[in-house]
């Protein structure tokens, strides 16, 4: 209707903060907040915050933060995100992202290194697409046409560490499992290997407040575990896979990489981004799924160990849901709504 303002929703999932610094000699009680850049400039209170994690140098959050921006102000507005110590009300980190720099429907996974002591924040950004944008993406000529939607529910990893640690899972699709296994083995055994990498864009906190430009990544961050000996997630890992990769005889696979969230003591490492350590990986060959899983069906699958140290035992349960882009398009047409969140089509009602 005339005079009605339409909004664009921006989501920020702050997954975890690792090795946070002491605040005035005390262990912090961190929480994250988000608001528009104009609200921050006007010093307005944030409407979207996480729970406070009391007395925690390592904190994990599950619920995404949401900020609504008028669509006619997309070019001027952005989202301001901060990590705050509840006790002292001091900022632990703060950054802004311009709304226009986010691709609608595209998840942007990033890491933020706060200082030379190894404090680290992991987060995901998403700009919610409009109904028209989503239907264009999944339409006959869109980039998501013919894609299959996979959802893997990770449970637990046993024997992952000799001492409590935070463990992060990164999911991706590799073209050839054999070549990936060789490169991964090299990355684990040779610290100077070119195959060794941080699985997503990393930004350095060189100023008290910075502006971040999101970068596209082929990897997808699942969730980070609370520090423990046997990390548990019980959260979905979402992937969109070309139908051809699930054909019989396909060499492609879904790979789960496990990273210890740690830091190096050498200050020079601050500039190299070495704050997460590749620990091992497991895989599910996609060629096997085409016969064993039907659209919309949930089924337990066994993970095959690919590479990893002798303590790594990927014995958690995996379930898979497969939906095609045509089914998702029909859902959009019937409801007239885009299922909002960082997981996208996984928010559809589970098939009966």
- Residue-wise pLDDT for 22-39, tens only, equals 999 999 999 999 999 999
Q: Identify the weakest region by mean pLDDT among 146-150, 218-222, 226-230, 257-261.
A: 218-222
What does the pLDDT average to over 166-190? Answer: 83
Mean pLDDT across the stretch 176-205? Answer: 75
Which of the four pLDDT bands, split at 50, 70 and 90, describes residue 271?
Answer: very low
Confidence (pLDDT) at 99 = 92
Mean pLDDT of 247-272: 69
Please state, for a pLDDT cut of 70, what percent of the chain lies above it. 71
CA proximity to 184, closest of 165, 202, 170: 170
* Residue 239 DSSP SS3: strand
Instruction: List pLDDT tens digits, range 127-167.
Output: 988 888 889 988 889 888 878 777 777 777 776 666 666 77
Q: Are 265 and 319 in contact (CB under 8 A)?
A: no
0.85 surpassed by pTM: no
Angle at 221 between CA 215 and CA 222, to 5 degrees: 160
Contact call for residues 245 and 252 (beta carbons, < 8 A): yes
Which ranges in 192-337 belong to alpha helices (H)? 286-292, 325-335
Confidence of residue 195 (pLDDT cuts 50, 70, 90): low
- For 49, other C-beta atoms within 10 Å of its C-beta total 16
Q: Would you say residue 330 has pLDDT above 50?
A: yes
């Amino acid at each position: 209707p005339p005079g009605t303002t339409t909004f664009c929703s921006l989501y920020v999932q702050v997954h975890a903060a690792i090795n946070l610094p002491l605040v005035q000699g005390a262990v912090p009680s961190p929480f994250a907040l988000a608001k528009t850049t104009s609200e921050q400039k006007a010093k307005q209170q944030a409407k979207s915050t996480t729970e406070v994690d009391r007395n925690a140098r390592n904190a994990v959050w599950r619920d995404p933060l949401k900020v609504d921006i008028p669509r006619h102000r997309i070019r001027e507005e952005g989202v301001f995100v901060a990590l705050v110590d509840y006790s002292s009300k001091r900022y632990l980190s703060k950054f802004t992202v311009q709304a226009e720099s986010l691709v609608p429907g595209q998840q942007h996974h990033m890491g933020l290194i706060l200082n030379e002591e190894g404090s680290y924040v992991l987060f995901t950004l998403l700009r919610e697409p409009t109904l028209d944008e989503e239907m264009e993406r999944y339409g006959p000529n869109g980039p998501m046409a013919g894609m299959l939607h996979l959802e893997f529910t990770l449970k637990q990893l046993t024997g992952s560490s000799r001492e409590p640690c935070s463990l992060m899972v990164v999911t991706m699709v590799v073209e050839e499992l054999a070549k990936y296994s060789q490169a991964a083995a090299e990355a684990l055994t040779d610290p100077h290997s070119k195959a060794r990498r941080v699985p997503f864009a990393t930004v350095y906190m060189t100023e008290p407040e910075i502006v971040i430009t999101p970068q596209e990544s082929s990897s997808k961050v699942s969730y980070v575990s609370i520090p423990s000996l046997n990390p548990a997630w019980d959260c979905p890992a979402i992937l969109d896979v070309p139908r051809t990769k699930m054909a019989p005889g396909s060499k492609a696979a879904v790979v789960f990489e496990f990273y210890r969230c740690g830091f190096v003591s050498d200050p020079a490492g601050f500039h190299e981004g070495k704050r997460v350590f590749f620990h091992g990986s497991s895989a599910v060959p996609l060629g096997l799924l085409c016969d064993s899983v039907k659209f919309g069906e949930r089924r337990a699958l066994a993970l095959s160990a690919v590479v990893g140290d002798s303590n790594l035992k990927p014995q958690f349960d995996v379930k898979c849901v497969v939906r095609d882009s045509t089914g998702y398009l029909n859902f959009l047409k019937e409801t007239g709504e885009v299922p909002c969140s960082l997981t996208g089509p996984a928010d559809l009602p589970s098939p009966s």
